[in-house]
Structure 1
Amino acid sequence: MAIHIRNATERDLPRIIEIEQLAFPAPWTLASFQRELTLPFSRIMVALPAPSGQIAGFLCRWLIADECHILNIAVHPDSRRLGIGTVLLAEAINEAKSTGANVVTLEVRRSNLAARQLYRKFDFEERRLRRHYYGPGEDAIIMELRFD
């Protein structure tokens, strides 16, 4: 399946919010996504699989100096297990490499085994634990991908 990646626009936010609300127990707000669209170091990219052309997933990242930080990645439940998260993550990693970044970081829920497995496919390493990062009883694992 061909998957087109492009930058998100204000027009995409209703679909992004829909996916966000389906994916996370404490979703980002519309204002959070609007703010990301205004930051010069932030990029929200959307994935549009052919033939539908409808947004099936998104990734939000910061690229500051020599570091890329992935803030948020989500795929619509109807489009999971089709490689969309893989394509989004590969795009962010390739962009980071091409701009001279030497590390990509992210936090992931300790309970999110599918996401952790995806990140390990890209050679991310689990570095630290942030207790209760997502609320009581929901720890975050800080993962890192270093480029040689």
Structure 2
Amino acid sequence: MAAIKSRDTKPELVIRKALHARGFRYRLHSSSLPGKPDLVFKKHRAVIFVHGCFWHGHNCPLFRWPATRQEFWRAKITGNQERDRRVEAEILNLGWRVGVVWECALKGREHLPLIRVIDSLSFWLSSDEKTTVIPNEY
């Protein structure tokens, strides 16, 4: 588990590269905002979190509860989910907008085409919508 990265993950790098190619400029992991969002778009007053399905307990085919140390993992993952909700609320209260991209949108059997994910994010960044979640089918 020590080799698991919290930043510069493959899904995050894919999103960063594609949005940069579309002309969006951002800061990375800004410590001035709660939760150190993965991408901060100051011009659009928006942030994007790229969540791993396992670590954040997403209800999708990529997530399943571990069979060993069940108490530890339930506490860990539910704690992460509670922190995610709290951080999102804090950022919204500061007048920022929040986007979440789940790992399953980019990989796995049921992933979305990258162009669709980037189109959705581009549209959201240019809109006034407060939040977006990709994918939102689960």
Q: Shorter-chain TM-score: what band?
A: 0.3 to 0.5
Q: Whose helix proportion is higher, 1 or 2?
A: 2
Q: TM-score, normalized by length of structure 1? A: 0.36
Q: Whose strand proportion is higher, 1 or 2?
A: 1
